[in-house]
């Protein structure tokens, strides 16, 4: 009996010891877990802080008394990131200064070209008037050969006038935003008027311009600017036509838009070049020994966009190129 009692007491003591030691272990584990949680929270806080720009935040060493090297490694990593960030900022400042310098030079160049072009425009316009007077026999009757020579001069003068105007208009657009003066304009009359003004140039290249319209009405637009667009597109069509060929101008509409399509035959635009033709200064004229600024389509695109329209290009290899001006009603 006494043996049984003794065994029971021993068992109870053993169990009690086990229970106490287990409880101590559990408490220790709980503490370690709490510490790890605290450490992870501290790391997360620092990471988020760094992520949102506070690169001076560091992990608190005291929280990491159990893993001192770990805190150090994380802090060194953030140090490295913040050093790089400072370096990047320095590079960025240098780069911004260089860009500002380049912009200034670009502006000076554009101002110089614009002033020069503006000064050139005066004698060119005076020349234009004089040549018209000569052809109108205001200074006496011209013989056939003289008339032919003066006509040639007038054609090249007209090309110069257009070139000068494209440069000046583009410069003006860079300085100020396009401000449109819209009014109802008869599209057919506008196209006919423009073709008439381009005759000296198309005639000298012996190119016929044919016009067909399926629309007879007014569209609200800025006459001056859209005429500039049509002139640019017709000038291009003449420049990139085969000699003695024709240019087709076609006008039509649907429920929403009016379309003015200008097609020339001959040199087409390569697929990979199509996406560049509206870029400022993009030109292939040098290849064809012609004069070009690469500003015509850039300017036209800006003008048409200001009208909430677009210009489409379709080019069939060695066959034809069509530029369509799409203007909303
Ligand atoms: N009708 C066209 N046919 C073929 N290529 C064209 C035509 N219109 C424009 N391009 C191409 O687009 C380029 C850019 O045209 P543009 O901006 O008017 O400048 P530029 O006429 O001064 O070269 C031209 O150099 C040419 O390569
Ligand atoms: Mg052009």
- pLDDT tens, residue by residue, 290-327: 678 899 999 999 999 999 999 999 999 889 999 999 99
Low-confidence ranges of the chain (pLDDT < 50): none
Mutation test of ligand 1: which of 236, 261, 262, 315 has the most ligand atoms closer than 8 Å to its C-beta?
Answer: 236
Q: Is 35 close to ligand 1, i.e. is its CB under 6 Å away?
A: no
Residue nearest to ligand 1 atom 11, measured at CA: 277
Q: Is 200 close to ligand 1, i.e. is its CB under 6 Å away?
A: no
The number of the ligand nearest the C-alpha atom of 282 reads 1
Q: Are 198 and 320 members of one domain? A: yes
pLDDT score recorded for residue 146: 93
CB atoms within 10 A of CB 261: 18
Cα–Cα distances (Å) from 53 to 78, 85, 88, in that order, read: 12, 10, 14
Domain residues for 322? 178-328
pLDDT score recorded for residue 61: 74
Query: Within a domain: residue 28?
Result: yes
Residue at a domain's end among 66, 95, 111: 66
Q: In DSSP terms, which residues pair with 318 in a beta bridge?
A: none
CATH code, domain carrying 281: 3.30.565.10
Query: Within a domain: residue 164?
Result: no
The number of the ligand nearest the C-alpha atom of 323 reads 1
Q: How many domains does the chain have?
A: 2
Query: Within a domain: residue 135?
Result: no
Q: Is 166 close to ligand 1, i.e. is its CB under 6 Å away?
A: no
pLDDT score recorded for residue 4: 87
pLDDT score recorded for residue 29: 93
Q: Where are the alpha helices (DSSP H) in 138-185?
A: 144-175
Q: Are 61 and 182 members of one domain? A: no
Q: Is 236 close to ligand 1, i.e. is its CB under 6 Å away?
A: yes
HSE (side-chain half, CA atoms, 13 Å) at 86 = 7
- 301: tokens are 């695109």
Phi, psi of 56, rounded to the nearest 5 degrees: -95, -5
pTM of the model: 0.74
Q: Is 247 close to ligand 1, i.e. is its CB under 6 Å away?
A: no
Residue nearest to ligand 1 atom 12, measured at CA: 277
Query: Within a domain: residue 257?
Result: yes
Radius of gyration for the alpha carbons in the chain, expressed in angstroms and rounded = 39
Query: Within a domain: residue 300?
Result: yes
pLDDT score recorded for residue 187: 96
Distance CA 236, CA 239 (A): 5
Residue at a domain's end among 51, 66, 81: 66
Q: Are 56 and 182 members of one domain? A: no
pLDDT score recorded for residue 288: 65
- pLDDT tens, residue by residue, 139-155: 999 999 999 999 989 88
Query: Within a domain: residue 61?
Result: yes
How many Å lie between the centroid of ligand 1 and the Cα of residue 208? 19
pLDDT score recorded for residue 67: 73
Query: Within a domain: residue 111?
Result: no
pLDDT score recorded for residue 1: 67
Angle at Cα 221 formed by Cα 219 and Cα 224, nearest 5°? 130
Angle at Cα 177 formed by Cα 123 and Cα 292, nearest 5°? 45
How many Å lie between the centroid of ligand 1 and the Cα of residue 84? 46
Which ligand 1 atom sits nearest the alpha carbon of residue 283? 25
The number of the ligand nearest the C-alpha atom of 300 reads 1
Residue at a domain's end among 18, 37, 66: 66
Q: Are 48 and 183 members of one domain? A: no
Angle at Cα 301 formed by Cα 298 and Cα 307, nearest 5°? 145
Nearest to 187 by CA among 237, 249, 265, 233: 249
Query: Within a domain: residue 108?
Result: no
- 144: tokens are 């056939």
Distance CA 297, CA 229 (A): 8
Q: Is 82 close to ligand 1, i.e. is its CB under 6 Å away?
A: no
């Amino acid at each position: 009996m006494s043996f049984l009692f003794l065994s029971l007491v021993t068992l109870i003591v053993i169990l009690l010891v086990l229970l106490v030691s287990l409880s101590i272990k559990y408490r220790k584990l709980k503490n370690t877990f709490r510490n790890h949680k605290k450490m992870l929270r501290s790391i997360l806080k620092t990471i988020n802080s760094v992520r949102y720009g506070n690169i001076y935040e560091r992990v608190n060493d005291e929280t990491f008394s159990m893993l001192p090297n770990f805190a150090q490694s994380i802090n060194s990593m953030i140090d490295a990131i913040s050093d790089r960030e400072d370096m990047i900022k320095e590079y960025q400042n240098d780069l911004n200064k260089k860009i500002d310098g380049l912009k200034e030079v670009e502006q000076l160049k554009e101002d110089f070209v614009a002033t020069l072009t503006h000064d050139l425009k005066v004698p060119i316009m005076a020349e234009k008037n004089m040549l018209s007077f000569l052809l109108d026999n205001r200074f006496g009757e011209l013989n056939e050969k003289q008339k032919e020579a003066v006509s040639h001069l007038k054609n090249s003068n007209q090309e110069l006038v257009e070139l000068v105007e494209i440069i000046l208009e583009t410069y003006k657009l860079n300085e100020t935003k396009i401000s449109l003066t819209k009014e109802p304009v008869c599209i057919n009359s506008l196209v006919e008027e423009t073709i008439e003004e381009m005759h000296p140039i198309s005639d000298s290249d012996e190119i016929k311009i044919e016009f067909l319209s399926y629309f007879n009405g007014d569209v609200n637009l800025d006459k001056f600017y859209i005429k500039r667009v049509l002139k640019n597109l017709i000038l291009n069509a003449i420049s990139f036509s085969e000699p003695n060929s024709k240019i087709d101008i076609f006008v039509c509409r649907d429920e929403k838009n009016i379309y003015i399509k200008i097609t020339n035959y001959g040199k087409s635009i390569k697929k990979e070049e199509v996406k560049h033709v509206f870029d400022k200064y993009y030109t292939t004229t040098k290849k064809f020994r012609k004069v070009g600024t690469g500003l015509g389509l850039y300017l036209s695109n800006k003008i048409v966009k200001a009208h909430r329209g677009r210009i489409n290009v379709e080019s069939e290899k060695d066959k034809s190129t069509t530029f369509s001006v799409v203007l909303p009603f």
